[in-house]
Amino acid sequence: MYGAETCALRRNEEVKLERTEMRMLRWIMGISLLERLKNDEIRRGAGEVKITEVIRESRLRWYGHVLRMDDKEEVKRAWEEPVRGRRSRGRQIIKGQDKVKEDMKRRGLIEDDAFDGRQWRMHIRQPTP
């Protein structure tokens, strides 16, 4: 989870993370695949949330922190600096800003919400089962 705030995961990578998480949860709880329990039931029993949702939450938490920074901060300037040069042909690489916008759209948030830290945390926090 270290550094998950800044990585832009592809769908394939998210699936691999969720698969690995479920394998670990099953192993920890001593549940075999032959028992045919659904992943949601196992997560609920363990009191866990999907790892991808935790990553989305940490990404949004970090983004809110960056937005509330002073404009002179290096991190904020680097985040807002446009990329120069020509774009390559074909499907474009997913950028961090694109993933943040996708996460915000998924949760129904706008950028102005981030300026109130308490409200922002309440909006992005994932409830544990």
Which residue would you say has higher pLDDT here, 92 or 55?
Answer: 55
Contact 100, 61 (CB under 8 A): no
- Mean pLDDT of all residues in 20-30: 95
- What's the CA gap between 13 and 3, in Å, rounded? 15
| pLDDT, tens digit (0-9, with 9 covering 90-100), for 36-86 | 999 999 999 999 999 999 999 999 999 999 999 998 999 999 888 887 888
- What's the CA gap between 37 and 46, in Å, rounded? 13
Whether 87 has a pLDDT exceeding 90, the answer reads no
Q: For position 32, what pLDDT does the model report?
A: 94
Q: For position 88, what pLDDT does the model report?
A: 83
Whether 95 has a pLDDT exceeding 90, the answer reads no
Q: For position 63, what pLDDT does the model report?
A: 92
Mean pLDDT of all residues in the chain? 89
- What's the CA gap between 14 and 20, in Å, rounded? 10
- What's the CA gap between 29 and 42, in Å, rounded? 8
What pTM does this model have?
A: 0.84
Q: Please report the DSSP string for 41-82 in residue order.
A: HHHHHHT---HHHHHHHHHHHHHHHHHHS-TT-HHHHHHHSP
Percentage of the chain exceeding pLDDT 90 = 52
- What's the CA gap between 17 and 52, in Å, rounded? 8
Of the candidates 49, 46, 80, the one whose C-alpha atom is nearest the C-alpha of residue 63 is: 80
Domain residue spans of the chain: 11-124
